[in-house]
Copies of this chain bind each other. A is one copy, B any other.
């Protein structure tokens, strides 16, 4: 099949981004647009987590100052700091679009998260979310059990344990239960990494339950991050069969699979360390180009616009004509050799140590993006 050399992807959306705060925010926020993304759904895992109305308004304003043409959709961090009243007020004021749920302790700044074995304390909040069409974004992993505690020697059944390979699959029953208890609540299983998760979303087969897929999980398997902390993220990339299932889902044309990069920048010093490497892969500055490469390899470039535009925006009920959209410029994907920089840095920012190693640093991609004024 002959491939087009230029594709208008429209007003694109990345429904899972980490923009941090402080100098890292200054460095990273402009790269959303550089990477070909118009609408960014912003994660709330700052320190402290975003759980207050004035806090989320201030954060959004800071982001808009750094990238006036990017549309930022904001989120709260699900924790005991939230109340149904607060969530209702935030919904009415339209300051948040959804709420992110982190199981306690599974990834960067998730220590304030919840126990995925029992969401019932949060049911009053989910009721309000359902009423106001707020999205519930799930980091779908159970926390690993502490293997050091296992001092009896006869536990040969891996299903007794939660480890990084079964953490996502072990979470899926909680997803089914949430959907059953709140059939009208819009739920996104974020950055899914397993064939089991893909199968679960297809089985639920609802207009209210979707999954985001990152760019890097379309490339990586366990071999790529073992020994390469730059590729280490949570959930970890898994086996070849899982990667295949993710690719098939991304190019399937099914509306419940859409793009969320989970681009998660960390200072290089937190990735180049022999202990406690921060989890996260930074892909923002070439987000769409990484995807194009994979879609091209599988003869599916015609499915890319659905994945990075229509499906996510439909699920989130976003229209290009909405007044919240900051710019109606469209993204043009075109064939051009495009070398990923070795480091993301900004000489204007004082701290020289604030550099980020991007995914596939130094490698050459076949696609680039440019913007066309609306």
Contact = CB atoms under 8 A, between A and B. Distances in A.
Contacts of A273: 229, 272
What is the copy number of this chain in the assembly?
Answer: 2
Interface residues of A, number: 51
A245 interface: yes
Contact of A274 (B156, B157, B248, B271): B271
A222 interface: yes
Contact of A272 (B148, B195, B248, B272): B272
Contacts of A158: 239-241
Contacts of A195: 156
Given A164-B223, A222-B164, A273-B272, A244 B155 contact: yes
Interface in A266-306: 268, 271-277, 279, 297-298
Interface in A203-261: 219, 221-230, 232, 236, 239-241, 243-245, 247-248, 251
B277 A155 contact: no
A58 interface: no
Nearest to A273: B272
Nearest to A232: B227
A223 B163 contact: yes
A357 interface: yes
A275 B240 contact: no
A229 B153 contact: no
A226 B232 contact: yes
Given A165-B239, A227-B276, A298 B153 contact: yes
Interface in A310-358: 357
Nearest to A243: B147
A150 B232 CA distance: 21
Contact of A244 (B156, B226, B357): B156
Interface string A137-166: 000000010011011011111101101110
Interface of A: 144, 147-148, 150-151, 153-158, 160-161, 163-165, 195, 219, 221-230, 232, 236, 239-241, 243-245, 247-248, 251, 268, 271-277, 279, 297-298, 357
21 contacts: A144-B223, A147-B221, A147-B243, A150-B240, A150-B244, A151-B297, A153-B247, A153-B251, A157-B241, A158-B239, A158-B241, A160-B240, A161-B239, A164-B223, A165-B239, A226-B232, A226-B236, A227-B232, A227-B276, A229-B274, A229-B275
